[in-house]
Structure 1
Amino acid sequence: MLERIAMDPGSDLDKLERMLAMKERIDGQNAMRQFADALSEARSTIPPIIKDATVDFTSSKGRTNYKHETLAGIAKVIDPILSKNGLSYRFRTDQGQGGVKVTCIIQHRAGHFEETTLMGGADQSGNKNGFQAIGSAVTYLQRYTLKAALGLSAEVDDDAQSVTESAPAQRQPKPEQPAAPNPEAVADGMIAALRGADSEERLKSIWTSEKFKTDLSWLRKQDAERAAHVEAAKDSRKESLKPSISHDLGDEIPEFEGNLK
């Protein structure tokens, strides 16, 4: 119909532009729904990520020892699943203000995409030179923006948290002492709650609840990056809950008086 209108010399160009803009809005809504469906299907298939790397070194502060997943290890697991569902990802990197900023872009073949951004300073741990410190920070932020964008989970992860060894009595917690909350587990639970909200009112209720605010305040102190993941999840869910444009074109379709032969 649009093609016939465009070919008619007597067509009203203003009405044609309005119809094209309306079509673009409807196509955008359809692409967003396809993105959400594909992401949901992919997440239901992606298994927990296995930590395939170990960091172990000793400095003046003591010994640092932890395991973490690598970007290559994550890609090996998720790439075939994302491709099967029409999803892909890429990174955009910027540098400034004494640190680096990495944005992970998840896109569906229908065209809709979403971005997750994190910032951080250069990684000064170990004996890295300046270039290595920046490269390490970029790789770290790529892993975490990708995990946040896809909602990936892993086992208990103390990545980037120093484990300083001291006396044996200090290393071994007392049996009666409860285990300290794990930032990743707390963040994952908060993100799951946000994504489970089925309306903007429910999302607002979760976000403004006393427990949620207390947990988010604690998380910001313990792990600012994971707190940023939670905030990004809230913004993403809020966007996805916005009312869809009605497909009942109704009065929006301009009256056409031209010749459609």
Structure 2
Amino acid sequence: MSTDIIMPESRRQVAAPAAMDTSIMAVISRAASDPSCDINKLERLMEMHERMQAHSAKQLYDEALAQMQEEMPVIGERGGIKDKNGRIQSTYALWEDVNEMIKPVMAKHGFAITFRTPRNERGIEVEGVLSHRAGHREVTSIVLPVDATGSKNGVQAVASSVSYGKRYTAGLLLNITTTGEDDDGNGPAAQITPRVTSAQATQLATLLEKCSDKAKEAFKKIHGAPASVEKAVFDQVLGMLTKSAAQHAASQENTDADNH
């Protein structure tokens, strides 16, 4: 039922940018066919078109991510780290469990996650790439030592580190929640932290686009994506972004006035 409500709204939101994009392309096409057209002007039009496409793709990414967050499952922790006496010290979700449960949800919302292992002298680097069908992607990475615990051979040690890197980067990009399947004396299961709704995430994303690059970077370091903001701090974050967007708009107006 929620899909019937959300999907048409998303299409209405992107209708205007799509029409504007078509209009810009028409202008570029006419300019390119004019022998007297200034090449610098044509390049600026192309750059404007690329910026508009990137902005539209980012907006669609944020909206789809917010909707997907509401359907992302909580994954049980079947893996265990044991001490020298064989007692389980902590638990974790196995990558095969994570992958199996997130793939259908990602596919439904137009996402795909891939991994790369760039050469890194400091250890094994695992890079996670979350891509959306609209064209936007987000990347995060982690550098790990070779997992030489237990009786692993060299290949197994590398594979173990890569598997951990996949779990870690996927968890950051998708805000995956895991929980212990039972309490075996090692402490209570992990608590699920409620996140903002898709409508709230869209509201935050819209305000964030109006903020300065410095404010955007600070937001990303603290919260990641708008959909990852905790529900308990929504009002506080909303107020801060509203103030930041207003300050940036005023700064832009002053700059424009000085230029004139």
Aligning the two structures, in what range does the TM-score lie when normalised by the shorter sequence? 0.5 to 0.7
Give the secondary structure class of the aligned counterpart of 1:123. Answer: coil
Q: Which portions of structure 1, spanning 4 or more consecutive aligned residues, are displaced by more than 6 angstroms? A: none
Contact 2:76 2:180 in 1 (8 A): no
Contact 2:60 2:134 in 1 (8 A): yes
Partner of 1:80: 104
What are the ranges of 5 or more consecutive residues in structure 2 without an aligned counterpart? 1-25, 227-240, 250-260
Change (3 A) 1:136 1:64: farther
Give the secondary structure class of the aligned counterpart of 2:152. Answer: coil
Q: CA deviation at 1:55?
A: 3.7
User: Aligned partners of 2:220 and 2:40: how far apart in 1?
Assistant: 41
**Paired-residue identity, %:** 26
Which has the bigger relative contact order, CA under 8 A and spacing at least 6?
1
Contact 2:62 2:225 in 1 (8 A): no
Structure 2 counterpart of 1:34, which letter?
L
Answering whether residue 43 of structure 2 is matched by residue 17 of structure 1, we say yes
Contact 1:48 1:155 in 2 (8 A): yes
1:109 to 133, 138, 162: 133
Deviations 1:204-243 (A, max 9, x none): 99xx9xxxxxxxxxxxxxxxxxxxxx98554656xxx797
Contact 2:79 2:92 in 1 (8 A): yes
Give the secondary structure class of the aligned counterpart of 2:47. Answer: helix
Deviations 1:126-185 (A, max 9, x none): 11122211110111110111011100101149xxxxxxxxxxxxx979xxxxx79x9x75
User: Aligned partners of 1:48 and 1:15: how far apart in 2?
Assistant: 52
Answering whether residue 76 of structure 2 is matched by residue 50 of structure 1, we say yes
Partner of 2:86: 63
User: Aligned partners of 2:82 and 2:193: how far apart in 1?
Assistant: 32
Change (3 A) 1:94 1:25: same
Partner of 1:31: 57
Answering whether residue 159 of structure 2 is matched by residue 152 of structure 1, we say no
Structure 1 counterpart of 2:125, which letter?
K
Deviations 1:176-209 (A, max 9, x none): xxx79x9x75xx85998xx9794679xx99xx9x
Give the secondary structure class of the aligned counterpart of 1:25. Answer: helix
Change (3 A) 1:232 1:64: farther
Change (3 A) 1:130 1:26: same
The residue correspondences of 1:233-248 to structure 2 (distance < 5 A) are: 234=223
Structure 2 counterpart of 1:114, which letter?
E
User: Aligned partners of 1:134 and 1:50: how far apart in 2?
Assistant: 24
Partner of 1:217: none
Q: TM-score scaled to structure 2, two decimals?
A: 0.60
Partner of 1:141: 165
Larger Rg: 1
The residue correspondences of 1:118-137 to structure 2 (distance < 5 A) are: 118-137=142-161
User: Aligned partners of 1:118 and 1:191: how far apart in 2?
Assistant: 24
Change (3 A) 1:122 1:86: same
Contact 1:116 1:232 in 2 (8 A): no
Deviations 1:21-67 (A, max 9, x none): 1111111111000000111111111121123x344766xx3224254
Give the secondary structure class of the aligned counterpart of 2:65. Answer: helix
Contact 1:191 1:234 in 2 (8 A): no
What are the ranges of 5 or more consecutive residues in structure 1 without an aligned counterpart? 158-170, 174-178, 209-229, 247-261
User: Aligned partners of 1:156 and 1:231: how far apart in 2?
Assistant: 29
User: Aligned partners of 2:221 and 2:75: how far apart in 1?
Assistant: 21
Contact 2:128 2:166 in 1 (8 A): yes
In terms of fraction of residues, the more helix-rich structure is 2
Count of matched residue pairs? 189
User: Aligned partners of 1:16 and 1:46: how far apart in 2?
Assistant: 44
Contact 2:128 2:141 in 1 (8 A): yes
